[in-house]
Amino acid sequence: MEGFSFSTAVTVRFAETDAQGIAHHASFVVWLEVARVAYLDEFAGGYQAIRDRGLEALTTEVQLRYHKAAYFHERLTIWTRCVGLRGSRFRYEYRITRGDVLVAEGHTSHAIVLRDTYRATRVPEWLSSAISKAESASS
C-alpha cells in the first residue's frame, strides 16, 4: 500500500466475533497492538527490548474508522507505519485491508514512560533511529 512499507496479517478468531456475526469492533484495537509488536520485532528488536530497559510504551489515544465488517476466519492485512516521533511521543497509522478492500483505518498515539514511576521520558535514541530508518526506507 502506498505510504506503508510494513504489514502484518491476522486471521479473525471465532472468539473475536460477536452476535452481529462479525468481528467485534474492540477486536480491531487488539489487532493494532499485534501489528505494533510485529513492527517492533521487524525494526527495533521487539517490544521486549523496550521493556528490558525499564520502559513501557503507553497507549494514549486510539482512533479507528470501520468501513466494512470483517468475518470469522478472514485474513486481514494490517498496514502499519510509525510517524511523528517527538520527545516522549510517537504515533502509529494503520490501514486494515482484505484483498483490495479497505476494511478499517486509524491511528494510535503512545508515550514512552519509565516503568517504575510511569513518568514520560524521551524516546531512546536507539529506538527513534530504528524507526526513522524503517520509515525512510519506505518513502
**Residue 50 in contact with residue 40, Cβ under 8 Å?**
yes
Query: For residues 37 and 128, which CB has a smaller minimum distance to a copy of itself in the complex?
Result: 37
| Min separation Cβ 31 and a copy of itself, Å | 9
Q: Which is nearer to a copy of itself, 103 or 139 (CB)?
A: 103
In whole angstroms, the minimum distance from the beta carbon of 133 to a copy of itself comes to 22
What does the alpha-carbon distance between residue 85 and residue 111 come to, in Å, rounded to a whole number?
Answer: 10
Q: Which residues bind a copy of itself (CB under 8 A)?
A: 13-15, 17-22, 24-26, 29-30, 33-34, 37, 46-48, 56, 58-66, 69, 71-73, 115, 118
Nearest approach in angstroms of CB 105 to a copy of itself is 10
Contact 114, 48 (CB under 8 A): no
> 3-class SS at 45?
coil
Q: Whole-angstrom Cα distance, residue 32 to residue 96?
A: 9
Nearer to a copy of itself, 23 or 130 (CB): 23
Q: How far apart are CA 98 and CA 11, in angstroms?
A: 10
